[in-house]
């Protein structure tokens, strides 16, 4: 009997890999335990699209309708946006149900150790019935921030912690709010059932956080100093103990090996400020089945598949780190305070987008995904798109760029494209793209 691929953790990233691998015909065993606390998180429409595109169905039923979101940043308030609030417990239960329905072997258990020898991969896990060990053909590490990584090379941002305090009050209209303050920021959400999730994010090194026993009082006192927290605290009381969540940005610089891969927060975790965590977790997971398929079936393209995964994980991390930096920079009231100062210039000062001219376009051979595998193809690389652009509207761009670079003096773009015999509709898309680069 073939050994299965073993996925550790059944959150959005692990779940997306399981569904993708089953579509490619693999037998998959997923071992997961529920997260130890419930949290409410906010997601955008593109996360809903991403979950749907990945094949989740039951998980989608856990997502609420969009509700009002107020942001107060740099002293200015904005209520133009909405977000969808999700109970992570309900979302994760829906994901687990989807994985069962798709035919994965789902084991409710806690992974306690992973052994990776030259010819044997095994995972030991604990269930109510005791300890078990299974062997697999490949291991997908998707245990989120809890995934062990001390032995791997990592790049970390300023150490950050988010304190989540639960409050209960009367039924209310669902809403959320984000607010900056002198040494951090708050995100607050209220659901129709009157549950309130009040989350304060601080710099670990400079916030003078109290002992665990005093955390509840500390959170309540800080929240009382934030005017925008008042509607979330009105007629409500704190319940239970606050929960501390690490929210330091972390990039795992070694996210793939011959017989293992890390996805989601286990590969790279971003600052929750951007509200993009689930989106980025899904992004690194959706590409993983093609990488795994190549590592298992086409050893001659192993190095290429690894470069593909790591370069995309790195690019995602820096993209979201820079989005976070630019957002922190918009808050100028406390620019000298340690929390803000250490985040205004991290990870670097490279702009989110680099203005590019056509002269800087290069054609390079890079890894791309084709029909569930990683292959090498000629793509167009620009300073703003270092991973390359392969197709536009179904047309391969590398031959177009080479032809335009070699066109005769005075030859129009239209005649140059006609020589390439492109089909008519995509031809327009390609022409518009070239003209957008300033070419005539
Ligand atoms: P996870 O969702 O963490 O899934 C990992 C799974 O593995 C869990 O089910 C866990 O229980 C399981 N697991 C862990 N250890 C073991 C083990 N030993 N054995 C078996 N199973 C195990 N993202 C947003 O999009 N919007 C937000 O508003 C938002 N707010 C956030 C606020 C904070 C404070 C933090 C820290 C993060 C926030 N995020 C938010 C990010 C989001 O939670 C993560 O990016 C996302 O859940 C990552 O998905 P994942 O599948 O990689 O990991």
Ligand 1 atom closest to the Cα of residue 144 is: 53
Q: pLDDT value at position 394?
A: 86
Q: pLDDT value at position 426?
A: 64
Answer whether 0.85 is exceeded by the pTM: yes
Q: pLDDT value at position 227?
A: 96
Contact 217, 195 (CB under 8 A): no
Confidence of residue 269 (pLDDT cuts 50, 70, 90): very high
Confidence of residue 304 (pLDDT cuts 50, 70, 90): very high
Residue nearest to ligand 1 atom 21, measured at CA: 32
Residue of 126, 202, 281 with the most ligand 1 atoms within 8 Å of its CB, for mutation: 281
Question: Alpha carbon of 403 to those of 19, 128, 215, 417, 418: distances in Å?
Answer: 41, 65, 65, 8, 11
pLDDT in tens, 103-160: 999 999 999 999 998 889 999 999 999 999 999 999 999 999 999 988 899 999 999 9
Centre of ligand 1 to C-alpha 361, Å, is 38
What mean pLDDT is reported for the chain? 94
Q: pLDDT value at position 187?
A: 98
Confidence of residue 419 (pLDDT cuts 50, 70, 90): confident
Q: Which contiguous run of DSSP H or E holds residue 130?
A: strand 130-136
Q: pLDDT value at position 422?
A: 67
- Rounded to whole angstroms, the Cα distance separating 74 from 77 reads 9
Residue nearest to ligand 1 atom 33, measured at CA: 272
Residue nearest to ligand 1 atom 46, measured at CA: 278
Residue nearest to ligand 1 atom 53, measured at CA: 144
Ligand 1 atom closest to the Cα of residue 12 is: 51
DSSP one-letter code for 166 = E
Ligand 1 lining (C-beta closer than 6 Å): 9-14, 31-35, 41-43, 92, 110-111, 142-144, 146, 162, 199, 245, 247, 264-266, 272, 275-279, 281
């Amino acid at each position: 009997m073939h050994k299965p691929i073993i996925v550790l953790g059944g959150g959005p990233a692990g779940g997306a890999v399981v569904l993708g691998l089953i579509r490619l015909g693999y037998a998959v065993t997923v071992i997961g335990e529920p997260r130890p606390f419930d949290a409410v998180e906010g997601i955008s429409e593109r996360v809903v699209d991403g979950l749907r595109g990945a094949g989740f169905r039951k998980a989608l039923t856990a997502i609420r309708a969009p509700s009002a979101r107020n942001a107060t940043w740099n002293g200015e308030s904005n209520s133009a946006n909405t977000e969808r609030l999700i109970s992570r417990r309900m979302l994760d239960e829906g994901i687990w149900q989807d994985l069962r329905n798709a035919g994965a072997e789902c084991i409710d258990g806690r992974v306690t150790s992973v052994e990776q020898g030259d010819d044997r991969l095994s995972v030991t896990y604990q269930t109510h019935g005791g300890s078990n060990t299974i062997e697999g053909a490949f291991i997908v590490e998707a245990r989120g921030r809890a995934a062990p990584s001390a032995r791997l090379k990592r790049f970390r941002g300023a150490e950050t912690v988010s304190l989540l305090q639960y409050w209960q009050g009367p039924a209310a209209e669902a809403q959320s709010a984000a607010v900056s303050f002198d040494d951090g920021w708050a995100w607050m959400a209220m659901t129709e059932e009157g549950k309130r999730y009040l989350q304060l994010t601080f710099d670990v090194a400079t916030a003078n956080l109290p002992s665990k026993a005093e955390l509840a009082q500390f959170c309540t006192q800080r929240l009382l100093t934030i005017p925008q927290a008042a509607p979330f605290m009105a007629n409500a009381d704190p319940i239970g103990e606050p929960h501390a969540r690490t929210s330091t940005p972390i990039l795992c610089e070694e996210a793939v090996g011959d017989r293992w891969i890390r996805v989601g927060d286990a590969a790279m975790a971003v600052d929750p400020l951007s509200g993009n965590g689930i989106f980025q977790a899904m992004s690194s997971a959706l590409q993983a089945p093609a990488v795994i398929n190549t590592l298992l079936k086409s050893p001659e393209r192993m190095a290429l598949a690894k470069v593909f995964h790591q370069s995309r994980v790195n690019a995602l991390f820096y993209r979201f780190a820079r989005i976070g930096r630019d957002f922190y920079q918009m808050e100028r009231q406390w620019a000298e305070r340690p929390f803000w100062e250490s985040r205004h210039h991290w990870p670097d000062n490279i702009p989110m987008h680099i203005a590019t001219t056509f002269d800087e376009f290069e054609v390079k051979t890079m890894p791309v995904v084709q029909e569930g595998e990683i292959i090498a193809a000629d793509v167009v690389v620009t300073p703003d798109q270092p991973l390359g652009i392969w197709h536009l509207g179904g047309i391969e761009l590398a031959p177009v760029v080479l032809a335009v670079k070699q066109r005769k003096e005075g030859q129009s773009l239209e005649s140059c494209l006609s020589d390439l015999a492109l089909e008519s509709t995509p031809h327009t898309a390609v022409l518009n793209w070239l003209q957008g680069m300033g070419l005539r």
